């Protein structure tokens, strides 16, 4: 059965993180929905670098659906939109309560998850800017490009340059290392990502 993934976007979302993650999860034959968390419900919006991102659907239209993973790309403005979306925050809390994965990258672990104290015990990484790092309790912060807290089913990552690793880790957690290797091989990923024989 195909994994169902929700990738959220908002004005100011970091384009590379959103598109790379969605693209790689689609390559894994996952059922990927890109949903707009824009406060005005717009489906098309400018990302952090001025590139137009287009959602498949409004977040409210999938609010009652179940997803194997909810993905929160970063970009400070986009993360702030996520933080301010009451609907999205409730969906993330429900995802946690249902023991399903949440994957957040860049500014989102700090601005979205920490500001709402959704994962008070979880260990996580984020974009390596001091103001974001300071939002995460020192004992919970991890300096890694990608970090998975298995007990909390939380996958976090640092930024645009770690987007590919972030997406591959989502596959690894949902479908196993063999599936990740199958997806990685035709993309010619760096051998040190360990998703293919060296």
Catalytic residue list: 106
Q: How far is CA 174 from CA 1, 53, 67, 100, 149, in A?
A: 12, 26, 12, 10, 13
71 φ, ψ (degrees, to nearest 5): -105, 130
Q: Where are the beta strands (DSSP E) in the chain?
A: 4-9, 31-36, 44-46, 52-54, 57-58, 69-72, 101-105, 146-149, 154-157
Query: 């994962």: which residue's tokens?
Result: 119
User: Residue 94 contacts by C-beta under 8 Å, 6 or more apart in sequence?
Assistant: none
Cα–Cα distance for residue pair 86/26, rounded to 1 Å:
28
């Amino acid at each position: 059965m195909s994994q169902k993934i929700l990738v959220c976007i908002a004005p100011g979302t970091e384009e590379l993180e959103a598109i790379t993650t969605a693209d790689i999860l689609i390559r894994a034959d996952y059922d990927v929905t890109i949903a707009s968390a824009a406060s005005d419900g717009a489906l098309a919006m400018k990302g952090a670098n001025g590139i137009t991102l287009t959602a498949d659907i409004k977040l409210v239209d999938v609010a009652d659906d179940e997803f194997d993973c909810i993905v929160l790309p970063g970009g400070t403005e986009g993360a702030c939109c996520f933080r301010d979306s009451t609907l999205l925050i409730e969906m993330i809390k429900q995802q946690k309560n249902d023991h399903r994965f949440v994957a957040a990258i860049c500014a989102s672990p700090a601005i979205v998850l920490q500001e709402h104290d959704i994962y008070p015990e979880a260990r996580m990484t984020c974009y390596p800017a001091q103001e974001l790092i300071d939002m995460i309790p020192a004992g919970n912060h991890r300096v890694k490009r990608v970090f998975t807290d298995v007990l909390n089913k939380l996958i976090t990552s640092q930024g645009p340059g770690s987007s590919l690793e972030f997406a591959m880790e989502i596959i690894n957690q949902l479908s196993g290392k063999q599936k990740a290797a199958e997806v990685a091989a035709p993309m010619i990923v760096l051998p040190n990502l360990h998703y293919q024989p060296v």
